[in-house]
Amino acid sequence: MKKTTIKNFFKGGVIAMSVLSAASLNAQFEGDWKFTPKAGAMGVGPSLGDISWWSNSDAEVTGIRACQFDDVYHFESDGTFQNRLGTQTYVEGWQGGNGCGSPAAPHDGSKNGKWIYNSSNKTIMIIGKGSFLGIPKVYTGGELTAPSGAKDTITYTVTSLTSTTVVLDVPIGNGAYWRFELTKETPAIDPTGNWNLAPKAGCIKVGPSKGDYSWWGLPAGDLATRACQMDDRFVFNADGTFQNILGTETWREGWQGADGCGAPVAPHDGSASAKWSVNKNNSSIMIVGKGAYIGIPKAYNGGELSAPSGAKDTIIYPAIINKDTMIVEIAIANGAHWYFELVRSAAPVSSVAKFTNGVKVYPNPTATSINIELENNTAVQRVEVLNTVGMRVMEVSEFNKEINVSALSAGTYFLNVTTANGVSTSKFIKQ
């Protein structure tokens, strides 16, 4: 990453940000959201941001509105929206109830809707009669008095948005507003596999605060220039080891001696013996190993490196993984954050069998079986086959060079070979 100065920031970064932010923010919505479990997660008042007329209390979160605080608002990447209410939700008087009860049609989640986020005017539109965010009676310009009045479209103002929280406001007339605060459900974090920076504008960006990356973002026009960086791999092996696989060239910065593609600079050259672990409580990935990193090498907790000798032994990356997309946001200094978007991908495969980390896998691709050969006739202790999302689909403890993979579905797989020297990961394609 080039060092961002005021000069080169205004030269390209500002213009690019207006183009790249929409896709990144769309990705932030994808997944499951619920009301933030706190007082004031929903409220109404005479003006924007003022919920003095009414708001939920702390006691209601686990009390009379517990059936509402477990409702899920689901956003699919293809634009599908779902209200997942379960067998009970909070039913109001205009719906024929006054407390927890069976969802009332059409606000019962029985039909899918659509969602569209407009990054220019910061609104999110929910399309589909009976689909809603927050509570069902609120719509743009008023409140329902009967289920039959359900609207086909409701537009919500996105007042604030981070990777984990969103605040929505809806005008209901005469200057009054409802406000809803939602929190994104954190899926189980399993980064096992190969990752690359997402090949698109904005996969790397930086700004003054989390969610605001207005200082600089990678423009689409620089993707080709940074091809040496876009093919870098961040490998999370199933045994907890981590690798930066950079090849003969990666993107270097001034603090590493030069700007541009060039030979990786130690200790950020992939030579580190590193480990990874996940903290599910705070949705973070810890990388342990001097010189090992995710995204770019200079960012660490609380700052940026000014020399390779300052490499940290440990870096903790707040992360969210949704299917094969990883979003990383790391605080550096004074509230500023770097943002990295990565995609789980398959490592390049050569049709020519050769030893990689002491292991040769052939034929590759294959339709029936693969042969595994080790340098120096090292004994194999165990062989695991993983799919591209890190799920183990085969395990072999009694090994005799050949493994029958004919039962596997066509696709890409990773092969973990365990010996007395450790674990080596290779990739093969099942035809």
Q: Give the contacts of 174 (CB within 8 A, at least 6 positions apart).
A: none
pLDDT at residue 388, rounded to an integer: 67
Residues 109, 130: Cα–Cα separation, whole Å: 7
Prior bond of 348 cis (ω within 30°): no
The CA–CA distances, whole Å, from 11 to 17, 175, 216, 221, 223 equal 12, 41, 10, 13, 17
Give the end of a domain, one of 155, 184, 213. 184
Residues 257, 298: Cα–Cα separation, whole Å: 13
One domain, residues 163 and 235: no
- Give the Cβ contact number of residue 423 at 10 Å: 18
Could you give the count of Cα atoms lying within 13 Å of 125 in the half-sphere of its Cβ?
9
Pairing of strands 359-362, 369-374: antiparallel
pLDDT at residue 77, rounded to an integer: 82
Please check whether residue 422 lies inside any domain of the structure. Answer: yes
Q: What is the CA radius of gyration of the chain?
A: 25
pLDDT at residue 414, rounded to an integer: 79
Does the CA dihedral 105-108-111-112 come out positive or negative? positive
Q: Are 181 and 35 in contact (CB under 8 A)?
A: yes
One domain, residues 239 and 318: yes
One domain, residues 200 and 310: yes
Q: Are 194 and 183 in contact (CB under 8 A)?
A: no
pLDDT at residue 160, rounded to an integer: 94
Instruction: Name residue 14's beta-bridge partners.
Output: none
Burial 277-306 (b: 16+ CB within 10 A, else e): ebeeeebbbebbbebbbbbbbbbbeeebbe
pLDDT at residue 403, rounded to an integer: 85
Residues 83, 293: Cα–Cα separation, whole Å: 38
One domain, residues 59 and 129: yes
Count of residues for the chain?
431
One domain, residues 414 and 367: yes
One domain, residues 90 and 180: yes
One domain, residues 221 and 370: no
pLDDT at residue 358, rounded to an integer: 66
Q: Are 384 and 394 in contact (CB under 8 A)?
A: yes
Residues 222, 244: Cα–Cα separation, whole Å: 22
pLDDT at residue 428, rounded to an integer: 77
One domain, residues 328 and 210: yes
pLDDT at residue 4, rounded to an integer: 41
Domain with 252, as residue range(s), is 188-345
One domain, residues 326 and 370: no
pLDDT at residue 162, rounded to an integer: 86
Residues 274, 218: Cα–Cα separation, whole Å: 28
Please check whether residue 13 lies inside any domain of the structure. Answer: no
Largest CA distance in the chain: 80
One domain, residues 254 and 329: yes
Could you give the count of Cα atoms lying within 13 Å of 28 in the half-sphere of its Cβ?
25
289 token code pair: 């190993």
Give the total number of structural domains in the chain: 3
pLDDT at residue 357, rounded to an integer: 55
pLDDT at residue 188, rounded to an integer: 73
Q: Which residues of the chain have a pLDDT value below 50?
A: 1-23, 347-354
- Its pTM stands at 0.50
One domain, residues 315 and 410: no
Could you give the count of Cα atoms lying within 13 Å of 281 in the half-sphere of its Cβ?
0
Q: Are 342 and 331 in contact (CB under 8 A)?
A: no
Q: What is the CATH number of the domain that holds 371?
A: 2.60.40.10
Residues 130, 104: Cα–Cα separation, whole Å: 10
One domain, residues 206 and 138: no
